[in-house]
Amino acid sequence: MLRIAIQAKGRLNEETTALMADAGIDIAAGRRKLVTRASGLPMDVLYLRDDDIPQAVASGVADAGIVGLNEVAERRADVAEVMRLGFGACRLSIAVPREAAYADASWLNGRRIATSYPGILRRYLLENRIDAQICEIAGSVEIAPAIGMADAIFDIVSSGGTLVQNGLREVERVFESEAVFIANPRLGEVAPAKLADIETLRFRFRTIIESRGVKYVLMNLPRTRLEAACSIIPGMRSPTVLPLADEAWCSLHVVLREAELWEKVEQLKALGAEGILVLDLENMIK
């Protein structure tokens, strides 16, 4: 049976569990142990700290996992990236005290940089021929400059609020991250049947992610405006057109991205569309 490692608690846990539930993997609440048997799509769920997930998947302790790309890159784990999951977005950046006269990365030469990601930082410094000292610390990296422990930091940034609160300024964006679905790269040799499970999960995750942010829109439209309406609506081959009792009218069904929803709906209204219904879309299987 497939064993998938996910973060036990922390920033990725909630969205990971929600994605798995949408994919039909049910983990009874309150029954969570280190390893829990899930139902629906049967598999074992292994709850770990995010730091341990890449190695667990690389070594085969788990067949697959969901973790931040930053953790995979930091550990240079020997895992296959199956797909990116579109949540947990953040970046690893270098930040310096707001008042520092930083013009470019050469400012970092001879300075101390505090981080919990020494691997990614070391590679960045090497590639950019910067000779700086790395101070590895486990947490609260953002306070290191204020207490005189470092001149700069290299840490996870998402909104940037934490940097501002600590009088720091982001100067180099080094690594973009998000949650990724990873698998053991030797699964095909050691357990080919599990590859089919990975493929099932990949398909379900992809369908769920692609269905997010889209709406199903129904409207009544004068038949004479159908061609004009089709030119407004992009995407999925052709819209569904159904006849109405009044032959001069038809019912038009389309899938629209949330970002363009209002613009398109207003254009369709201007064409004479009436009775416009906007519905949430559960899953869109392509």
Nearer to ligand PRT, 17 or 219 (CB): 17
Q: Least Å distance between CB 185 and ligand PRT? A: 21
Torsion of CA 181, 186, 187, 191, to 10 degrees: -170
Q: Which of 20, 50, 56, 63 binds ligand PRT (CB under 6 A)?
A: 50
Q: Least Å distance between CB 194 and Zn ion? A: 26
Q: Least Å distance between CB 76 and ligand PRT? A: 15
Q: Is 201 in the site for ligand PRT (CB under 6 A)?
A: no
Q: Is 49 in the site for ligand PRT (CB under 6 A)?
A: yes
How many CB atoms neighbour CB 75 within 10 A? 18
Closest CA to 41 of 69, 14, 64: 64
Q: Which of 63, 155, 172, 197 binds ligand PRT (CB under 6 A)?
A: 155
Say which amino acid occupies 199.
E
Q: Is 54 in the site for ligand PRT (CB under 6 A)?
A: no
Stretch of 64-72, 94-102, 198-206, 266-274 lying at the interface with ligand PRT (CB under 6 A):
64-72
Q: How far apart are CA 182 and CA 185, in angstroms?
A: 9
Region 10-69 residues binding Zn ion, contact defined as CB under 5 A? 50-51
Q: Least Å distance between CB 130 and ligand PRT? A: 22
Which one of ligand PRT, Zn ion, none is in contact with 7 (Cβ closer than 5 to 8 A by kind)? ligand PRT
Q: Least Å distance between CB 165 and ligand PRT? A: 8
Q: Is 160 in the site for ligand PRT (CB under 6 A)?
A: yes
Nearer to ligand PRT, 109 or 158 (CB): 158
Nearer to ligand PRT, 142 or 151 (CB): 142
Contacts of residue 274, defined as CB under 8 A and 6 or more positions apart, other chains included, come to: 219, 220, 221
Q: Least Å distance between CB 124 and ligand PRT? A: 17
CA atoms within 13 A on the CB side of 232: 22
Q: Least Å distance between CB 152 and Zn ion? A: 22
How many Å separate Cα 96 from the centre of its chain? 27
Are 181 and 83 spatial neighbours (Cβ–Cβ below 8 Å)? Answer: yes
Q: What angle do CA 126, 129, 133 make, to 5 degrees?
A: 70
Size of the site for ligand PRT (CB under 6 A): 22
Q: Is 74 in the site for ligand PRT (CB under 6 A)?
A: no
Residue 210 vs residues 42, 185, 204, 223, 233: alpha-carbon distances, Å: 24, 25, 10, 31, 18
- The enclosing H or E element of 251 equals strand 249-257
**Coil, strand or helix at 36:** strand
How many Å separate Cα 230 from the centre of its chain? 32
Contacts of residue 266, defined as CB under 8 A and 6 or more positions apart, other chains included, come to: none
Q: Is 68 in the site for ligand PRT (CB under 6 A)?
A: yes
> Interface residues with ligand PRT (CB under 6 A)?
7, 10-12, 49-51, 68, 70-71, 88, 90, 142, 155-162, 177
> Interface residues with Zn ion (CB under 5 A)?
50-51
